Each structure stands twice: as structure tokens, then as C-alpha cells.
Amino acid sequence: MSALFSSLTLRDVTLRNRIGVSPMCQYSAVDGLANDWHFVHLGGFASGGAALVFTEATGVLPEGRISPACLGIWSDEQVPMLRHITQFIEARGAVAGIQLAHAGRKASTKRPWDGGGAVAIADGGWPVKGPSAIPFADNYPQPETMSLDDIGHVITAFADGARRAVAAGFKVAELHAAHGYLLHQFLSPLANTRTDAYGGSFAHRIRLLCEVAQAVRAVWPDGWPLVVRISATDWAEGGWNVDESVQLCARLATLGVDLIDVSSGGLAAHQQITIGPGYQVPFASRIRREASVRTAAVGLITEAPQAEAIVARGDADMVLLARELLRNPHWPLEAAHALGEPGPWPDQYVRARKR
């Protein structure tokens, strides 16, 4: 039997296979509200055979969005359309997951196809805050240093967002602590130069993420899994590194985190990444072994035998795909055929299944 197409149980939630959809920003919302684009985009992955379908980074506060066009979960008004989406995903046999996020110093930026960089206040942007007054890059907003009250407000917002996510029908919650966004900013000495209880030592730099995990776990149903996405390394001298990631993930496991989604980079504009097929898989493998926590592998995973080997070797418990699924939302069905498995074909599409 294929390891990739075996089920995976996290708490009381069982995934039909080991293939998930990575969170991918769509920059297509208005006032944080999901719409038909999100319904078709996310629903298509469920029909295509994926087991776990994550939303894009979903802002727990309006000022926590990456761009003015990003999804939000800070208002009850945002729940009904999200619930419509999760109901369809579940009806197709997949599990709906939400990525709860705050962009911190990387907020208030333009959509990629609009050129990126800061959105001016006059054009709908907003003042941004981060752990320290260090901008991500010259064309990004200048952040204000967060106060302790600001930090407490963010922790509460993550918990409130999780409550709304329950109402919206999500069964998996992921905290976005990767790619240079707020929770990652607190982890890295390159973005966090604070001298209080949230900066300096390793224990202080991981404090915010740990407190957010505890706050979300307290309101998230006991039978549903909590995931954290991390950047295992900043790929920059003096930044967050893999050794620290192992220590962090061992700590998160004690706080009720069930799986670590292991990515990398995004914190430093001067990062130097060595890219190749499956280049981040060794990070997921090491964290899985040394921190004794389940992991998901991501990054240039494109072929069925490659994904099968990752799971079969025990490098990770599942794989999350992004761009490959944008190219082919039915990749899981094709992978099943390649591996000699029947695959979770929708009844409406069975006539197209290869024999």
C-alpha cells in the first residue's frame, strides 16, 4: 500500500491521505471577505483529491493583513462565506484548515501583480507594527515597535479568530509563524532587538508564539488538531536557525501543537537560499526525529514518487503542495494512478479515471 495514500489521524480528525494544500495568498478579498474566487479555488482542491485544504494567510486583525486584498477572520461578518466553503470541502471528503496570521512589519503591501512594496495610507494602507522598528526592506513600511498592550491585543485576536474559525467549520487551525510575518519576526534576532520579556534570549523570543499557541489551543476543540508553520531557518547569518527550530518545536509539542509545517526563509531580504527539489525536506525530517513531533514537508515537491518517498522514509508525516497544485489541482488523483492506488475520485469524474 502506498504510504502517501494511507490515512493520517491527528487527534479526532482523520485525513484520507497524506497530501495537503499549502496556504497560498490569493489577494482577492474585499474587507477580508471571502468570495466566489475563494470558493472555486479551495473547493477545486478538495474535488482534486487533497486530504487537507488550507486557506491563505487569514488576518486576525485588519492591520494584520499582508495586503488590503487578503482574507480576514476578525469579524463575524466574515464567517458565513467561509462556512459555505468549508461545507463544500467536507462534502468532497477533505478537511478544511485555516491559517491564522498577522503580517506585522510586512503588512500594508501591494499585491504582487501591482508591483509589491508599501501601500500608501492615502491608497488604503495603514501604519504597521513589529517587534522592533526595523523595516523588512527599503520599499516596505517603516514599523513602529509594539508595546506590551499591542502584544496582548494580538494574542487575544488570535484566540478570537480561532473561535470564529470554529463557527466557520474549520477542523484544523494553523498558526503562521513563518516567512517573515509577525510571529516569525519575534523569533528572529534579525527583526527582534527588544530588551524586554519578548526579546533577547531564545526563551524570550519564542514567548509570543508560545503564548499565542496556548491561547488558541484553549479555545480550539480538544479533538481538533493545531498546526504551526515555521521557517526552519532564515538563510541569513545571525538569524533564526535549525537548531533553534528543533528546540522550539519540542516546546510547542508540550503546548498541544500536533504538527509542524516546516518551511523556511522570508524574514531577511538578503537571504541566500539554496533551492532544489525537496530542499526543505531535511528540516522536516530533523524536527520530526529530534523534537518528537509530526511534521509536514513543503517546497518543490512535484512528483508522485518523490512525495511517496518522503512519507515512506519517515522524513515527514505528510506533504503540502502549493504551486504544483495551482498548475494541476487534480495532482492527487494523478499521483494515485502513478502509485497504483484508486484515488479519491469524485463520482462526477470517475469516467475520466485512467485504468
Which pLDDT tens digit goes with each residue over 111-135? 999 998 999 999 999 999 999 999 9
Cα-Cα end-to-end distance for the chain: 18
| CB distance 107 to 23 below 8 Å | no
* Complete domains list, the chain, with CATH: 8-352 (3.20.20.70)
Angle made by CA atoms 155, 159, 162, in degrees to the nearest 5: 140
Half-sphere exposure (Cβ direction) of 306: Cα atoms closer than 13 Å: 16
pLDDT at 13: 98
Tell me the C-alpha to C-alpha distance, in Å, between residue 203 and each of 43, 206, 244, 257, 303: 40, 6, 10, 18, 39
Half-sphere exposure (Cβ direction) of 177: Cα atoms closer than 13 Å: 33
- Mapping DSSP to helix (H, G, I), strand (E, B) and coil, where does residue 212 land? helix
pLDDT at 354: 80
Count of all residues that appear for the chain in the document: 355
Residue ranges of the chain whose pLDDT lies below 50:
none
Which alpha helices (DSSP H) does 206-314 contain, by range?
A: 207-219, 242-254, 281-290, 304-312
pLDDT at 355: 75
Enter the DSSP assignment of 169: T
- Mapping DSSP to helix (H, G, I), strand (E, B) and coil, where does residue 319 land? strand
Give phi and psi for 165, each to the nearest 5. -65, -35
- Mapping DSSP to helix (H, G, I), strand (E, B) and coil, where does residue 347 land? helix
Which one, of 200, 209, 175, 139, lies nearest residue 192 by Cα?
200
Q: Count CB atoms within 10 A of the CB of residue 314.
A: 12
pLDDT at 82: 98
Enter the DSSP assignment of 8: E
For helices 36-47 and 79-91, angle between their N-to-C axes, nearest 10 degrees: 20
| CB distance 118 to 199 below 8 Å | no
Catalytically annotated residues: 181
Which pLDDT tens digit goes with each residue over 272-307? 998 999 999 999 999 999 999 999 999 999 999 999
Instruction: Give the whole-angstrom CA distance, residue 184 versus residue 231.
Output: 7
Instruction: Give the whole-angstrom CA distance, residue 282 versus residue 170.
Output: 30
